[in-house]
Chains A and B, each alone.
Chain A
Amino acid sequence: MDAFRKGLRWVFLTVEGWLDLCFPERWNPLRNLGALGFFYLWVVTVSGIYVYIFYDTGAAEAYLSVEAMTHEQRYAGGIMRSLHRYASDGMVLFMAVHTLRELAFDRYRGPRWFTWVTGVPIMALVFVCGITGYWLVWDKLAQYVAIATAEWLDVLPIFGSPIARNFLTPQNLEPRFFTLLMFLHIAVPLILLLVLWIHLQRVSRPRMHAPRGLAMGSFAMLLALSLVKPALSQGPADLGQVPSVVGLDWFYLVLYPLIDVWSPQGMWGVLGALLLMLTALPWMPPMRRAPPALVGLDNCNGCTRCAVDCPMAAITMAPRSDGKPFEREAVVDPDLCVSCGLCAGACPTATPVRRVSAFVPGIDLQHLPLRDVRESFDRAGERLRGEGRVLVIGCDQSLRVRDLERDGVAAVSLPCIGMLPPSFIDYALSRGIADGVLVTGCRPGDCQCRLGVEWTEARLAGTRDPRLRDRVPRERVAVHWAAATERRDLERAVAGFAARLRGLEGASAAQHAAAARRAGGRG
């Protein structure tokens, strides 16, 4: 499983790298897969409402109404029908890639099991939507789908008379059958929406909206495809005639040939095994988890920043329990916590320059408290020599920054770059630990802990608390995001930064720090 994930991850990062060459960083489709899924769902919904208006139920009416829509109003109904079909296909495509990606990046186990497991019924529901949709057209493909589905359902011992018998001859087919189908085709998507809502209950600030440029591009693509290859029916259904050769929609009907190849029972077996395996995956094997974040009430003032910044909605603010004169206190739900440290990076009490000998912020990681991080900063400073000394601060989720170490370059790795309180950068520069600090981590939109990169950028830009203080010389702080496959790129960035630092006036940060101290202490 480990090797499989690694390989898959490498494929993703490589293709993502290609796409980064032509898409703006934040538009990269592979970093917006969930949002793209939603985008396609919206296109399906709007086009579906239009198509529904012109659809008639009934064995003869269904086919004729779809034909009329397709040909008599080619540039309205015809396009809408095509959009409905292709956006549905796109949804399956992006859902599949989204699922593979969460798998590849190990975002399906541990506290994330809930989001993964709720994804499984989503998959099933999407397929039911597509299958009933193709059925409604009542062309030859619909006939094939109807009969195959009926034969498939009939092996379940729940129906008295085989459903497939309804499709033996036209006389057997009842008009209210289409009313039932139409009902299913509307009700199941509504259930799908509900389950999607549940899917995102444990994701704090889910990215549900594709960036505008990506949405426009995707829509233009669907529109172009609809014009070049309008969705067509495959001739009216004729129950006296077997639909021998059909143009299958392989996105939705990929399992159907198995009914013929094996048997309906075989197909149930495959499907059951597949769903069972997907559901059990988060525990095969379960994730080895670091201990959850720990609140130190002595230092927590109930400011809520950690709760707001937590990517897993793992922190709630509870009424104060220790008698301190604050209204609330942070409480961590250990079942939801992924031990990313974003909360520690957000806490206003996480300032390393505090002289308190026992440096304990309001919230901290048990396996890597910020006190240890400060110590590793100090040790990194001892390793650094020469001019243009760079301290690289990276994260365990992306490439191993320790591999970048050499003369003049030292590195410290955190569970997520979002754990870094900006005051630590100040600390490194003002104590003369390094001449410059380079911050790196997963690429934007790709943060393993979802929000770490976003929060770091905002904190450094001074738009989000805790902010990087104004007195920190910005020319000594660099940010360069890099995926695990972009080591050479990062090495070049570090070398370039070191060269810039050497060129700076009063080259060493220690001199700058001394000047700052003379000018007004630590403030």
Chain B
Amino acid sequence: MARVLRWLGQAVAYGLTALLIGYLADSPPYVHLAPDRALIKLAFAHGAVRNEGCRRRTAEELERLAPNMRRQVVCPRTRVPVLIELELDGRILHRASLPPTGLSGDGPSRIYERFPVAPGRHRIVARLNDTGRAAGFDYERAADVDLRPGQSFAVDFRAEAGGLVFR
């Protein structure tokens, strides 16, 4: 009798372990995005134009530098920031000035942003400025889309494909 009970006890211990493993292996489910939402993803890496030209340092600037660092002319290789604007149904969804990456500021500007939105018809407009111009944009793309629930809509930038890409 005691023997049977011991075996039974072992079976219970194994059973509980199996239950734990079997359950946590895929449950409880994780809601990553509410099922009644769609997702717009804004993602790209793009290098804007470089800060142009060399310039002469002013007298005050030189004064502030250590004597051995006082080079008169500086030629920065840094890029200007990329300006990106995403508009949804006439409202600005996201606007950002993306600084260049890299230690010396000469790498591409990067962005990766996700925007959960209600599904249905939307007008999406994206604008991008990569020349550091004071006003206006160098690229613009607009589209009317019908987003399904759970759809993932990508806003990308590919210079080789002619600029902003919607997918």
Q: Which residues of B contact A240 (CB under 8 A)?
A: 151-152, 167
Contact with A along B144-167 (1 / 0, CB 8 A): 000010111010100000000001
CA–CA, A90 to B154, complex, Å? 38
The digit string for A168-212, where 1 denotes a CB below 8 A from any CB of B, is 110100000000000000000000000000000000000000000
Partner of B110, one of A86, A162, A247: A162
**B75 cross-chain contacts in A, Cβ below 8 A:** none
Measured in the bound complex, the distance between the Cα atoms of B165 and A481 in whole Å is 73
Question: CB distance A21 to B6 under 8 Å?
Answer: yes
> In the complex, which residue of chain A has the Cβ closest to the Cβ of B36?
A244
Distance from A261 Cβ to chain B, minimum over Cβ atoms (Å)? 11
Residues of A within 8 A of B148 (CB): 241
Least CB distance, A58 to chain B, in whole angstroms = 21
**A221-257 interface (Cβ within 8 A of B):** 221-222, 224-225, 228-229, 231, 234, 239-251, 256-257
- Contact yes or no, A165 B45, CB < 8 A: yes
Is A93 an interface residue, CB under 8 A from the partner?
yes
Determine whether the beta carbon of A144 is less than 8 Å from that of B32: yes
A221-B41 Cα distance, complex, nearest whole Å: 44
**Which residues does chain B contribute within 8 Å of A157, judged by CB atoms?**
101
Is B43 touching A244 in the complex (CB atoms < 8 A)? Answer: no
Query: Contacts A218-B14, A242-B150 known; A165 to B32 CB distance under 8 Å?
Result: no
* Contact for A243 among B5, B32, B112, CB less than 8 A: B32
Chain B nearest CB, measured from A426 CB (Å): 37
- Contact check, A86 vs B32: say whether CB atoms are below 8 A apart: no
Q: Is A387 an interface residue (CB 8 A)?
A: no
Is A221 a contact partner of B25 (Cβ separation < 8 A)?
no
Given contacts A240-B152, A241-B151, contact A217 B10 (CB under 8 A): yes
Question: Contact: B25 with A85, CB < 8 Å?
Answer: yes
Q: Which of B15-23, B56-64, B83-91 contacts A (4 or more CB under 8 A)?
A: B15-23
Pick from A228, A239, A251, A257: contact of B24, CB under 8 Å: A251
How many residues in B have their beta carbons less than 8 Å from beta carbons of A? 45
A85 to chain B: which residues have CB within 8 Å? 25
**Contact between B14 and A244, CB atoms less than 8 A apart:** no
User: A161, B152: Cβ atoms under 8 Å?
Assistant: no
Does A297 sit within 8 A of B, measured CB to CB?
A: no
A168 to B157, CA, bound (A): 12
A352 interface residue per 8 A CB criterion: no
B108 at the interface (CB under 8 A from A): yes
A106 at the interface (CB under 8 A from B): no
A23–B152 CB distance below 8 A: no
**Pair B156/A165 contact, Cβ less than 8 Å:** yes
Chain B contacts for A231, CB-based, 8 A: 25
- Asked, given contacts A22-B10, A245-B29, whether A151 binds B112 with beta carbons under 8 Å apart, the answer is yes
Which among B13, B31, B35, B154 is the interface contact of A168 at CB below 8 angstroms? B154
Chain B 115-157 per-residue mask, 1 if CB under 8 angstroms from chain A, else 0:
0000000000000000000000000000000001011101010
Partner of B32, one of A19, A160, A242: A242
| Complex-state Cα separation, A242 to B31, whole angstroms | 11
B152 x A242 contact (CB < 8 A): yes
The residue in B12, B30, B34, B43 that gathers the most chain A C-beta atoms within 10 A of its C-beta is B30
Does chain B have a CB within 8 A of A378? no
> Once the chains bind, are B21 and A160 in contact (CB under 8 Å)?
no
**Taking the complex as formed, is A333 at the interface, i.e. its CB lies under 8 A from any CB of chain B?**
no
Cα A243 to Cα B30 with chains together (Å): 10
Please tell me which one of the listed residues A19, A220, A257 contacts residue B30 in the complex, with CB atoms under 8 A apart: A257
Contact of B112 among A160, A165, A228 (CB under 8 A): A165
Chain A, Cβ-Cβ closest to B15: A221
Chain A residues with CB under 8 A of B25:
85-86, 89, 231, 249-251
Residue A117, interface by CB 8 Å:
no
A214 to B20, CA, bound (A): 18
The answer to whether A225 touches B29 (Cβ under 8 A) is no
15 pairs, CB–CB < 8 Å, chain A vs chain B: A22-B8, A23-B9, A89-B24, A89-B25, A90-B17, A90-B21, A160-B45, A160-B108, A162-B44, A165-B156, A168-B156, A225-B22, A245-B32, A251-B25, A260-B32
Binding site for B on A (CB under 8 A): 19, 21-23, 29, 85-86, 89-90, 93, 144, 148, 151, 154, 157, 160-162, 164-165, 168-169, 171, 217-218, 220-222, 224-225, 228-229, 231, 234, 239-251, 256-257, 260
Supplied contacts A244-B150, A249-B24, 12 more A-B pairs, CB within 8 Å = A21-B6, A21-B9, A85-B25, A86-B21, A86-B25, A162-B43, A164-B43, A242-B150, A244-B33, A248-B26, A250-B24, A256-B30
List the interface of chain B (C-beta within 8 A of A): 5-10, 12-15, 17-18, 20-22, 24-27, 29-35, 37-39, 41, 43-45, 101, 107-108, 110, 112, 148, 150-152, 154, 156, 167
Query: Nearest 7 A-B pairs (CB), nearest first?
Result: A22-B9, A247-B26, A161-B45, A168-B154, A221-B14, A248-B30, A250-B24
